[in-house]
Amino acid sequence: MNFLLRSIPSLLLISPLLGDGTEINQDTLKKLKLPGIRINLEAKAVDVTSTITLVEGSLEFIACTKGTKEHEAIIAIEAKPSHIHTALLLLGAKAGHPAIRKIVGEGDDQHWIDLPPKGSGVTVSLVIPNKDKKPTELPLSDFVYRLDDAGEPDRVETRKRLKVFLFAGSHLIGQDDTPKTYLADQSGSVISLSTFGDELLCLPQIYGHENHALRWEVNPTHLPKVGTQILLRIKPIKSNLPPKK
């Protein structure tokens, strides 16, 4: 669970507003090739097609990419994290950076410090079929809980900590003279609960072994069975879209 030991500028894929001043609407957005992703103008959110991968056990992630961390994430997606990044920028969210560990000082005073993650605030919810098979949006805290010191579910603490995630924006990696790679596209770290330093979205604080990162558990009460297709909904707290008329 060690996070990255160097800082790399976060990805800037596309301006929040289309460069030619074109109004953002569904017809315009259809021209963008973002497989598995829909920019939901009505909800001012990014909807990502997802599959339930875990209905019990401990968690280090909410979402990962398919074929990576399904054993510790509730859902898996086939979309590229870099494409979700692009969609969030179009809605006006600002990318920051995941947690960073860097060395400061000189000589005998040289030491490591941990810098917390930064980025625009977003909310995360899941859109699942209800008993009538109609899509219903529920907050993330309905599917996850945090254990208290006695090992019991702490619902209040869960709701408080999962209220806002940060658009950290992963990292670009590669040599200066070669094409850059979006790190989360490689690692599969889409939405993390523990701190790894390569995630697209993360919690506002650093979560490692020293502050009981591994205390998140699946709450299966509302979860459909493994393999069910649902929507992951990511909504910037501040959007650049105009209000509905």
- pLDDT beyond 60 at 4: no
Cα of 179 vs its chain's centroid, Å? 24
- Domain assignment of residue 20, yes or no: no
- Domain assignment of residue 73, yes or no: yes
How far apart, in whole angstroms, are the C-alpha atoms of residue 60 and residue 207?
A: 10
- pLDDT beyond 90 at 18: no
Q: What is the mean pLDDT of residues 217-245?
A: 86
- Domain assignment of residue 46, yes or no: yes
Q: Could you tell me which of 94, 84, 89 has the C-alpha nearest to residue 34?
A: 84
Mean pLDDT of the chain: 85
Query: Which residues face 61 on adjacent strands?
Result: 73, 192
* Six-digit token string for 236: 């910037």
pLDDT (0 to 100) of residue 112: 72
- Domain assignment of residue 244, yes or no: no
For 169, phi then psi, to 5°, come to 85, 15
* Amino acid identity, position 43: A
3-state helix, strand, coil in the chain (%, to 5): 15, 35, 50
- pLDDT beyond 60 at 36: yes
CA angle (31, 32, 33) in 5-degree steps: 115
Higher pLDDT, 49 or 157: 49
Q: What is the mean pLDDT of residues 200-225?
A: 85
Check: CB of residue 145 under 8 Å from CB of residue 155.
yes
- Domain assignment of residue 54, yes or no: yes
* Percent of the chain surpassing pLDDT 90: 60
pLDDT (0 to 100) of residue 23: 60
For 158, phi then psi, to 5°, come to -60, -50
pLDDT (0 to 100) of residue 28: 67
Show the domain range for 120: 26-236
How far apart, in whole angstroms, are the C-alpha atoms of residue 80 and residue 186?
A: 9
Burial (0-12, 13-18, 19+ Cβ within 10 Å), 87? buried
How far apart, in whole angstroms, are the C-alpha atoms of residue 122 and residue 166?
A: 6
- Domain assignment of residue 211, yes or no: yes
Residue 194 has, within 13 A of its CA and on its CB side, a CA count of 22
How far apart, in whole angstroms, are the C-alpha atoms of residue 61 and residue 184?
A: 13
Q: What is the mean pLDDT of residues 15-26?
A: 50
**Residue 227 binned pLDDT confidence (cut-offs 50, 70, 90):** very high
pLDDT (0 to 100) of residue 16: 41
* Six-digit token string for 232: 């992951």
Task: Give the tens place of pLDDT for each residue, 51-60.
Answer: 999 999 999 9
**Residue 30 binned pLDDT confidence (cut-offs 50, 70, 90):** low
Q: How many helices and strands (H and E) does the chain possess? A: 4, 19
Burial (0-12, 13-18, 19+ Cβ within 10 Å), 200? buried
Q: Could you tell me which of 26, 90, 65, 35 has the C-alpha nearest to residue 186?
A: 65
- Domain assignment of residue 17, yes or no: no
- Domain assignment of residue 90, yes or no: yes
Task: Give the tens place of pLDDT for each residue, 126-182.
Answer: 999 988 889 999 999 999 999 987 889 999 999 999 999 999 999 988 877 778 899
Task: Give the tens place of pLDDT for each residue, 73-119.
Answer: 999 999 999 999 999 998 989 999 998 877 777 777 777 777 889 99
- pLDDT beyond 90 at 27: no
pLDDT (0 to 100) of residue 156: 93
Residues 6+ apart with CB under 8 A from 122: 88, 93, 164, 165, 166, 167, 201, 234, 235, 236, 237
What's the domain count of the chain? 1
Could you tell me the pTM of the whole model?
Answer: 0.86
